[in-house]
Structure 1
Amino acid sequence: MENCRTSARILIIGAGTSGIAAATRLLQNNFQNVQILEAENRIGGRINTIPFGDNVVDMGAQWCYGKQSNCVYEMVKDMGILHGTDDYYSTIKRVRSNKEVIQHELGCAIHDIALRSMPSGPNPVVGSFGTHLTENFWRNIETEMPQLDRDLANEALETFAKHESSIIGSDSLFDVSIREHIEYHECDGDKLLHWGTKGYKRFLRLLMKVSEDDPEGLGLLEGRVHLGKKVTKIELACPSKVILRCEDGDYFEADHVICTVSLGVLQEQHEKLFVPPLPPAKVNAIRSLTLGTVNKLYMEFEKQPLPDDWVGFFCFWLAKDLKELRKTEYSWLEGITGCHMVTCQPRLLMVWVNGPHGRHTETLSDEKVMEGLQWFFRKFLTFEIPPPKRFVRSKWFSNPNFRGSWSFRPTIADDRGTGPWDLESPVKGEDGHIGLLFAGEATSRNHFSTVHGAVEAGFREANRLIALYSSCGFNP
């Protein structure tokens, strides 16, 4: 009997956004034998909405990042569930480590120059984002603000670069390819559209078509998700099948496998995970792309500790203070890009810490992190921030099922002639059977690092399988 959609066995590794998107697309196109193996004891991957404060917080993905050409926005735009920021952060303060608050108009003017100094345009260029930004920034400062204090300008540039690094996920902008920045497709519209009091988990529920009266349901995926199933071996076998083995000893056979594990997991495990070894082009992509680390620290207070006219602040380190900081146990505070309030959470403050400093915080106890934050607040602010009543934080790098937050394309990937397109390409067995497919945000050519990029990648691989099969027939 011919293989057909109803009998084709599809296994998806990872119940994150991409895996869920692939599974739901397949199920809605008459594939009936679809299962997901998830190493964690929850679904969602790098979407992780948890109860905290007055409602919920997102430990991972938080914002929708624009409207135009954004498949997440397109799916929910008429439901009234996304909320705009209305320039919520436009009045954010800029504070130096000597407690001086930069005059707002001056801070905005320097920030505007930094924005206009970023690489842009269609012309192919080479080199790093950091080099391009730095050269343009100082050229523009000389032209537009020649009287500006150079120490202040340097502090502003360092803070801007650190903030951009946290958006991209890089340790440094000097690691980031200019081509990556230009070829990434920004979605026009409000970049900070958020999910109100429901968190990003709301989108996953819509994707799975979970009813409102079923708080813990899986909708279309009911009975199809197997939690705590860490895959340890993926073998392309003949004839035309894929064999999976799990850490707990379970064994599965499938006609096709969609692998959505993070780039960090692929980097750590690909040599022992895949039999036969992956093709050289794919290994080159895995070794050349980068999964960065960005962590969040949430603090809950009895009442909001910031003054009424503050939504948060960026920290400008004076050179002498930064030199002293680096000699102390609090050196990780250099990785903080900012501290701000959280929409729909009036009693919370949130701190971002990224790169090597973000990875280091994961090795510290909550007590040590809070001790450092209290020191940080005393260093920058003229008013007191009391110890929080509760504290929660993400640890994306140290989790063996993620090993980081989101991906970017470094200059080394350009040097090696690779990118998401090589990570995306399916792998055939010795008999030519397309047994292994790859999804996940890192495989998205133009929307990497985003939820909509992960959704598109999941849909892309599901569509690849849909195209292989007629309603009841297989087209090799």
Structure 2
Amino acid sequence: MALRSSVDARVLIIGCGISGVGAAQKLIRQGFRNVRIIEATSRSGGRVKTGRLDGKIIEIGANWIHGPSQENPVFRLASQYQLLDEECMSEENQSVDIGGLPPLLSTWLSSSGKKLEAEVMAPAVEVFLSLLKKCQEFYTSSDAPMSSMGEFLEREALRISNEEWKEDETRKLRQALFSTLMKLECGVNGTHTMDDVDLGTFGMYKSLPGLDCTFPGGYDGLITHMMNELPKDIVLFNKPVKCIHWNNIHSQSSSKEGTCPVTVECINGEIFEADHVIVTIPLGYMKKHHDTLLNPPLPQHKMHSIQRLGFGTNNKIFLEFEQPFWDEECEVIFLVWEDEYDLQNHVSDMKTAWIRKMSGFTVLKPTERYGHILCGWIAGHESEYMETLPEEEVLHTVTRLLRRFTGNPTIAPKKLVRSQWFHDPYTCGSYSYVAKGCSGQDIDNLAEPLPLTGSEAEPLQVLFAGEATHKSFFSTVHGALLTGWREANRLISHYNPSPRKVTANL
């Protein structure tokens, strides 16, 4: 059948996060005129969500540009829109290669209310970072000694500490610090436990050069600039999708000529027809609704990959103080529970012990912009439980925690704001990770358009984008953006099958 022109092709994009907005931008620039975005909520941005605490900008969702260098499309766009400060834009900042681990000035506090010496803690940090590096290497060497990352980190951290450090309190403290760093790593990966992360494929994630930086005016400024370049009213807000009927299963326009192969049915009963639908829905939502979201259902291998891939929760708890209790140069405060030297899970009772999963706090800088705000990090089931508690209870528990670890009974945060990504009905968590038993093939399966290659049906009816569909940059904003461009390029190539190469750059 002859291709309709790209001018006529009706493209629906489900989800107005950066992936969907990026796809729409690229298609419209290439002459597609019938592009609409259907968004379940009342706002654009998805997991990019900037909030306010007492008038100060805080990031409820995406926090940093990870690897702000020329290879990063988010950095390039942010530079183009002049949204970054000079330090972030500097050649020096772009060239720093930190392997994804920023060298932060840390303060270590113990559960007995003591400040721990940096030189006592440093060897443990060094060991842990070297083990993380080793975990990444198993991907290329294909000889991971076990299936889970948690198992490997725990075994090796204890082995090294038993061999190299004397039998004294220092060794136990360093082992307890390993436990804190494991919790932090759970947050970085968006998992409940490192036992759920696949050791052999962990290294599939690639970090870009550049010292991670933030948006002085808020991450959502990037979304605003991108949205401003799109035609007005391109987004239909507050329209959750009930089902995507493809292969013309549900078409109500059978009497019309040139029936569209895809029909999108919204929960409110509205129906939209399209030649192509780009699905940019978070993997967390797909996991919960994949059996009803498409009709006919997803092919088995696609469904199995959705079930196998990991998607967890990492939440933030922002606290504002009248005066700082931390040193001026401090960038991060780590909490070390002295009884956790065995690296076992010490949350026996969620109600009373959920707070133990909090690894520490980052200090929002510069002080002139933020005043005195800390951002606490908590991942996993404890994080999901925290979301269900009243704000006052969270504030009370975190205050008790800080008083215990600082030994200062007068510490009192004056305000709290938290994220609640697990209970967000259209996200169901924070971001994806490669779960135990997963491979890059699962990500490829997730990204594969429908109908499958070899089918005689209309091609590229349903395409898939979003951070979970990027093999090297899953869990990142730049990964999400690149996949939106990838699927837009797939459609552009479909309508303009010329030999010229369509690049993934704007």
Scaled by the length of structure 2, the TM-score of the pair is: 0.85
> Does the aligned pair in 1 maintain the 2:323–2:372 contact within 8 Å?
yes
2:447 partner amino acid: E
* 2:479 corresponds to 1:453: yes
* 2:240 corresponds to 1:234: no
Q: Aligned ranges for residues 249-288 of structure 1 at < 5 Å?
A: 249-288=269-308
2:113 partner amino acid: K
Q: Distance in 1 between matches of 2:442 and 2:416?
A: 38
* 2:456 corresponds to 1:438: no
Q: Offset of 1:130 from its aligned partner?
A: 1.4
Q: Distance in 2 between matches of 1:2 and 1:62?
A: 42
The counterpart of 2:363, out of the listed 337, 341, 344, is: 341
Moved more, 249-258 or 321-330: 321-330
Question: Structure 1 runs of 4+ off > 6 angstroms?
Answer: 85-89, 320-325
Q: Distance in 2 between matches of 1:156 and 1:436?
A: 47
Q: Distance in 1 between matches of 2:345 and 2:192?
A: 19
| Alpha-carbon spacing, 1:128–1:471, altered in 2? closer, same or farther (3 Å) | closer
| Alpha-carbon spacing, 1:257–1:139, altered in 2? closer, same or farther (3 Å) | same
> Does the aligned pair in 2 maintain the 1:89–1:311 contact within 8 Å?
no
* 2:437 corresponds to 1:412: yes
Q: Distance in 2 between matches of 1:323 and 1:74?
A: 42
The counterpart of 1:153, out of the listed 148, 153, 174, is: 174
Q: Distance in 1 between matches of 2:80 and 2:125?
A: 34
The CA deviation string for residues 390-422 of structure 1, in whole angstroms up to 9 with x for no partner, is 3211110011110000000111324xx842111
* 2:110 corresponds to 1:96: yes
Q: Distance in 2 between matches of 1:305 and 1:404?
A: 32
The percent of aligned pairs where both chains have the same amino acid is 30
Q: Distance in 2 between matches of 1:430 and 1:300?
A: 60
Q: Offset of 1:169 from its aligned partner?
A: 0.5
Q: Offset of 1:311 from its aligned partner?
A: 3.7
Scaled by the length of structure 1, the TM-score of the pair is: 0.90
2:136 partner amino acid: S
Q: Offset of 1:327 from its aligned partner?
A: 4.8
Unmatched 5+ residue regions in structure 1? 211-218
| Alpha-carbon spacing, 1:422–1:324, altered in 2? closer, same or farther (3 Å) | closer
Q: Offset of 1:4 from its aligned partner?
A: 1.0
Paired residue for 2:198?
177
Q: Aligned ranges for residues 18-417 of structure 1 at < 5 Å?
A: 18-68=19-69, 69-77=71-79, 81-83=83-85, 90-118=104-132, 119-121=135-137, 122-126=140-144, 127-142=147-162, 144-146=164-166, 149-190=170-211, 192-196=212-216, 198-208=217-227, 210=228, 219-238=229-248, 241-308=261-328, 310-319=330-339, 326-327=348-349, 329-343=351-365, 344-384=369-409, 386-414=411-439
> Does the aligned pair in 2 maintain the 1:288–1:418 contact within 8 Å?
no
Q: Distance in 2 between matches of 1:272 and 1:413?
A: 24
> Does the aligned pair in 2 maintain the 1:96–1:316 contact within 8 Å?
yes
> Does the aligned pair in 2 maintain the 1:234–1:274 contact within 8 Å?
yes
| Alpha-carbon spacing, 1:116–1:328, altered in 2? closer, same or farther (3 Å) | closer
Q: Distance in 2 between matches of 1:328 and 1:131?
A: 23
Q: Distance in 2 between matches of 1:263 and 1:233?
A: 16
> Does the aligned pair in 1 maintain the 2:108–2:334 contact within 8 Å?
yes
Paired residue for 1:214?
none
> Does the aligned pair in 2 maintain the 1:72–1:452 contact within 8 Å?
yes
Q: Distance in 2 between matches of 1:312 and 1:431?
A: 55
> Does the aligned pair in 1 maintain the 2:201–2:438 contact within 8 Å?
no
2:373 partner amino acid: L
What secondary structure is seen at the aligned counterpart in 2 of 1:437?
strand
Q: Distance in 2 between matches of 1:320 and 1:5?
A: 60
> Does the aligned pair in 2 maintain the 1:183–1:446 contact within 8 Å?
yes
Paired residue for 2:256?
none
What secondary structure is seen at the aligned counterpart in 2 of 1:267?
helix
Q: Offset of 1:264 from its aligned partner?
A: 1.0
Q: Distance in 1 between matches of 2:33 and 2:374?
A: 45
More strand, by proportion = 1
The CA deviation string for residues 89-120 of structure 1, in whole angstroms up to 9 with x for no partner, is 72221111011221112212210111001213
| Alpha-carbon spacing, 1:203–1:323, altered in 2? closer, same or farther (3 Å) | closer
> Does the aligned pair in 1 maintain the 2:158–2:175 contact within 8 Å?
no
Count the aligned residue pairs.
Answer: 459
What secondary structure is seen at the aligned counterpart in 1 of 2:361?
strand
| Alpha-carbon spacing, 1:186–1:222, altered in 2? closer, same or farther (3 Å) | same
> Does the aligned pair in 2 maintain the 1:117–1:140 contact within 8 Å?
no
